[in-house]
Amino acid sequence: MSESRSSLSGALDISRRASLGVIAASAAGFALFGPRPRQDVPKDRIVLDYWEKWTGAEGLAMQRLVDRFNASQSEIFVRYLSIGSIDQKAMIAVAGRSPPDILGLWSFNIPSFAEAGALMPLDELAAKSGIASANYAQAVWPMLTHRDQLFSLISTCGTIALYINDDRLAEAGLADAPAPATIEELDALSEALIERRPTGDIEKLGFIHTDPGWWSWLWGYHFGGSLLDETTGTATANAPENVRAYEWVQSYPKTYGSRELIKFQSGVGFYGTAQAPFLTGRVGLTIQGPWMANLIQAFAPDLNYRVVPMPTISSIADPSRPVGLVDGDVLTIPAGAREPEASFAFIAWMQEQKQIEEIATAHAKNSPLTSVSDAFIAGHPNRGITAHNAIAASDRAFRFPKTRVWPRYVSEFDAAFQRLWLLQDEPASMLTSINARAQVALDQAAAMRARRHG
Amino acid sequence: MSAAGRSRFAGLLWVSPWLVGLCVFFLAPMGLGAYYSMTNYSMLEPPLWVGLDNYTSLLKDDVFKQAVLNTIIYAAFVIPLSVVLALAIAGLLDVDSRLSRLVRVLVFTPTVVPLVASAMIWLWLFNGDHGLINAFLHMIGISGPNWLGERGFAMGALVIMALWSIGQPVVIYLAALQDVPRELYEAGQLDGMGPIRRFVHVAMPSIAPAVFFNVIIQTITAWQVFAAPYIMTEGGPDRSTYFYSHYLYDNAFLFQRMGYASAMAWVQLMLIAVCILAIYAVTRKLWSTDT
């Protein structure tokens, strides 16, 4: 027994020494190789953490502005942090009650974050700084608000327009073809650009709704439709204008063959690469945002292209009032942020024309402001930037429907769109089914809102 | 403190990191998940008690039903096919030669390739226009489908991809086969059994525990399949490859329905448990019949 005790005691001694050794080694390792702040922070300033989604060149452009802000005054120091999947990370940070001081979100995040009380209303601070809706292009201000309260201000903004590859048009003998202003003209131009291989497979296309395939839900707006009555919270996916739009969408797989189009799509490269079909000419007409200029600059700098607003059906066509999606990156202050006034000082500084135009130029985006400088237009990397600006200024520009269930709504569209493209459903029944499911989601959200807020 | 007490204390001290980990990273999240599953919770606002509403909503959710059905179909193909294929490969590799050693390495290699890289490779292999698989089919006069773009083929493509990384079960079966006493094979041979009958009647009963283990692991893996379809098909076309874990993830992080996603997680746990119990019951019956 005593022998076993003694061996146990020996074992414990060794264990204790080993434990202490392991702890000491861990502590030394942490001290030597552990995390460190990435930049020196001035001691006498309010330090703000700014989470933003951009990395690479876009992130560097924002970092330059942050550095300039930090150098422009001596009270606030902003730390720029690039965060992937920022809305999800922000959600977790808010849940953990450790949000950043400034949060860069997408405009479609505003309804869900604002309704949940996760964002600070900015009306008062904006009024004090002289920031008002009149400063912003017509379609931009509504993007920043929710239920008549201001929850965000803009950082960058992009409108979606039609890009025309003029080299491809010239190759097809259509060098002098005017830009299409109506859906009917778009169809005609698209038809003239089709080129097939000897096997019958499609080699080149004019227009295709699935390139880049990011906005399966927006076609109805170009036929005079919309997806949500925001005042009543009613889904309007199956409105007659939308049905007509998706009949037009389905006319493409019906005409050219669903299988052929899917095969074509799988054979062209992805957006963001040198093989992007618009750059290689395999697609002659595509819808994109102004950032397309960065892609063209990187992979096809000699490409000849034009930018015009995406056409509408002829009955609502009006060149002075273009129709197009406007989307934005927004700056917000999360609820519970430590120094909201300091956070707002940075956001307000970012709203000045100089900063807004600098970041818009670096990101190849249009200006969200009413006043646009000549230098901005002249120095912009996108030769069609005026078309993008015109959409932002139009009273018929549209944005993501303002509802916190928008991600569910759009996921219904994405799934149903594939069914439509595969000719497995009719537009009317597809839209009725989307409408029913979207309405369930809207009603559930309304019921929960009523329970929470009365 | 008595020696026994000191010994118990020392033992607890040594396992305490694991115990803390178990409580903090496993039991507590499970308990919180159970609570959240009975709430409306977006993570942005406090949870609101809704009782069993999330569970009853699941029963009425067509997308949920489709995700369950897709996962069952996927599992129904992947599990038996991988058992048969892995056993066949292990049986063929159960010889000691230079070639078999090389083939073992080749069979196991896909297992160490990161899943995202595998998905990207298969994305191009299955490409409808330029993919190697269709190029091969074209050489033998078959017009290949748009593997990932057509309803009927997308699921098949994902099953094929899953079977590609079969190295792990092969290694386990091979180890089990090499543990089978050679005398049993010799006895079978003396009784006039051919190689296939020896494999079925001599080897199989001996490696049944390994098969059981692999089937359980693959059942769990199949119910949790996420990364490959998320990258390759994004659940499409028309949700034909929208699996359980993908829908759960979307609810949690895209639709901000953490309560609903928590209910889905608990149902997933129950479904996996039911599957394992069923496999266990069938296996026990088979073993008792053999005995």
At B141, which CATH number? Answer: 1.10.3720.10
Q: Using alpha carbons only, give the angle A386, A387, A389 rounded to the nearest 5 degrees.
A: 60
What's the domain range around B20? Answer: 1-28
| Cα–Cα distance, A114 to A230 (Å, whole number) | 15
Whether the link from the prior residue into A212 is cis, omega within 30° of 0, is: yes
Supply the pLDDT for residue A22.
Answer: 84
Contacts with A408 from chain B: Cβ below 8 Å: 255
pLDDT at B154 over 90: yes
Beta bridge mates, A153: A331
Residues A64 and A71 sit within 8 Å (Cβ to Cβ): no
- Tell me which H or E stretch contains B264: helix B258-290
Residue indicated by tokens 């056409």: A311
> B69 and B17 share a domain?
no
Which amino acid, one-letter code, is at A446? Answer: A
With CA atoms as reference, report the closest residue to B91 among B107, B78, B76. B107
Q: Would residue B42 count as lying in a domain? A: no
Residues A307 and A158 sit within 8 Å (Cβ to Cβ): no
Give the mean pLDDT of B37-55: 94
- Count how many domains chain B has: 2
Residues A38 and A8 sit within 8 Å (Cβ to Cβ): no
CA dihedral of A151, A155, A161, A164, whole degrees rounded to 10: -170
Instruction: Write down the ipTM of this complex.
Output: 0.85
Q: Would residue B84 count as lying in a domain? A: yes
Taking the alpha carbons at both ends of chain B, their separation in whole angstroms is: 51
Residues A59 and A82 sit within 8 Å (Cβ to Cβ): yes
Supply the pLDDT for residue B129.
Answer: 78
Which residue of chain A comes nearest to B148, CA vs CA? A266
Contacts with A208 from chain B: Cβ below 8 Å: none
Question: Residue B55, Cβ neighbours under 10 Å: how many?
Answer: 16
Supply the pLDDT for residue A2.
Answer: 46
> B116 and B222 share a domain?
yes
CA distance A357 to chain B (A): 32
**Partner B contacted by A415 (CB < 8 A):** yes
Partner-chain residue, chosen from A15, A92, A265, that has the shortest CB–CB distance to B43:
A92
| Cα–Cα distance, A229 to A235 (Å, whole number) | 6
Which residue of chain B comes nearest to A4, CA vs CA? B3
Q: Please state the CATH superfamily assignment of the domain spanning residues A161-325+402-448 in this structure.
A: Periplasmic binding protein-like II (3.40.190.10)
| Cα–Cα distance, A188 to A387 (Å, whole number) | 22
CA distance A233 to chain B (A): 17
Supply the pLDDT for residue B150.
Answer: 85
Q: How do strand A76-82 and strand A46-52 relate by DSSP bridges?
A: parallel
**Partner B contacted by A452 (CB < 8 A):** yes
> B75 and B2 share a domain?
no
CA distance A97 to chain B (A): 10
Contacts with A265 from chain B: Cβ below 8 Å: 149
Residues B144 and A199 sit within 8 Å (Cβ to Cβ): no
CA distance A305 to chain B (A): 27
User: Cβ separation of A8 and B237 shorter than 8 Å?
Assistant: no
DSSP 3-state of A291:
coil
User: Cβ separation of B256 and A422 shorter than 8 Å?
Assistant: no
Supply the pLDDT for residue A60.
Answer: 96
What DSSP assignment string belongs to A108-151?
A: GGHHHHHHTT-B---HHHHHHTT--GGGB-TTTHHHHEETTEE-
Phi and psi torsions of A22, nearest 5°: -65, -45
- Tell me which H or E stretch contains A75: none
Q: Would residue B73 count as lying in a domain? A: yes
Whether the link from the prior residue into A111 is cis, omega within 30° of 0, is: no
Q: Would residue B51 count as lying in a domain? A: no
Supply the pLDDT for residue A1.
Answer: 45
> B127 and B10 share a domain?
no
Question: Residue B122, Cβ neighbours under 10 Å: how many?
Answer: 22
Supply the pLDDT for residue A39.
Answer: 61
| Cα–Cα distance, A452 to A433 (Å, whole number) | 29
State the burial class of residue B53 (Cβ atoms within 10 Å of its Cβ: 0-12, 13-18, 19+): middle
Q: Please state the CATH superfamily assignment of the domain spanning residues A46-158+326-398 in this structure.
A: Periplasmic binding protein-like II (3.40.190.10)
User: Cβ separation of B44 and A112 shorter than 8 Å?
Assistant: yes
Phi and psi torsions of A161, nearest 5°: -135, 175
Contacts with B131 from chain A: Cβ below 8 Å: 266
| Cα–Cα distance, B160 to B156 (Å, whole number) | 6
Which amino acid, one-letter code, is at B169? Answer: P
Helix extents (H) in A203-275: 240-256, 258-267
> B2 and B108 share a domain?
no
Supply the pLDDT for residue B199.
Answer: 84
CA distance B268 to chain A (A): 21
**Partner B contacted by A418 (CB < 8 A):** yes
Contacts with B44 from chain A: Cβ below 8 Å: 91, 94-95, 112-113, 116-118
Which of B43, B127, B137 is the best residue to mutate to test the A interface, defined by the most A CB atoms within 10 Å of its own CB? B43
CA distance A236 to chain B (A): 20
Q: What is the mean pLDDT of chain B?
A: 91
Helix axes A353-363, A56-72, angle to 10 degrees: 160
Query: Residues with Cβ < 8 Å from B71, sequence gap 6 or more?
Result: B222, B223, B225, B243, B244
CA dihedral for B150, B156, B162, B165, sign (positive or negative)? negative
CA distance B145 to chain A (A): 8
Contacts with B129 from chain A: Cβ below 8 Å: 201, 263-264, 266-268
Q: Where are the domains of chain A?
A: 46-158+326-398, 161-325+402-448
Q: Which residues of B touch A (CB under 8 A)?
A: 3, 6-7, 10, 14, 40, 42-45, 48, 127-131, 146, 148-151, 235-239, 242, 250, 253-256
DSSP A36: -
Partner-chain residue, chosen from A116, A262, A415, that has the shortest CB–CB distance to B239:
A415
**Partner B contacted by A116 (CB < 8 A):** yes
| Cα–Cα distance, A101 to A336 (Å, whole number) | 8
Positions in chain A short of pLDDT 50:
1-4, 6
* CATH topology identical between A46-158+326-398 and A161-325+402-448: yes
Threshold 0.80, pTM exceeds: yes
Which residue of chain B comes nearest to A425, CA vs CA? B238
CB pairs under 8 A between A and B: 91
> B10 and B150 share a domain?
no
Tens-place pLDDT, residues B167-207: 999 999 999 998 888 888 889 888 888 888 888 888 888 89
Q: Using alpha carbons only, give the angle B171, B176, B181 rounded to the nearest 5 degrees.
A: 140
User: Cβ separation of A12 and B6 shorter than 8 Å?
Assistant: yes
> B24 and B136 share a domain?
no
> B67 and B153 share a domain?
yes
CA distance B246 to chain A (A): 13
Q: Can you list the positions of beta strands (E) in A41-98?
A: 46-52, 76-82
> B246 and B137 share a domain?
yes
Which residue of chain A comes nearest to B3, CA vs CA? A5
Tens-place pLDDT, residues B13-29: 999 999 999 999 999 99
> B139 and B73 share a domain?
yes
A247 is written with which tokens? Answer: 């009949």
Residues A155 and A330 sit within 8 Å (Cβ to Cβ): yes
Q: What is the mean pLDDT of chain A?
A: 92
DSSP B141: T
Tens-place pLDDT, residues B81-134: 999 999 999 988 888 777 888 888 888 999 889 988 999 999 989 988 788 999
> B137 and B220 share a domain?
yes
What DSSP assignment string belongs to B155-220?
A: HHHHHHHHHH--HHHHHHHHHHHHTS-HHHHHHHHHTT--HHHHIIIIIHHHHHHHHHHHHHHHHH
Query: Residues with Cβ < 8 Å from A297, sequence gap 6 or more?
Result: A364, A381
| Cα–Cα distance, A373 to A393 (Å, whole number) | 15
State the burial class of residue B105 (Cβ atoms within 10 Å of its Cβ: 0-12, 13-18, 19+): exposed
> B118 and B255 share a domain?
yes
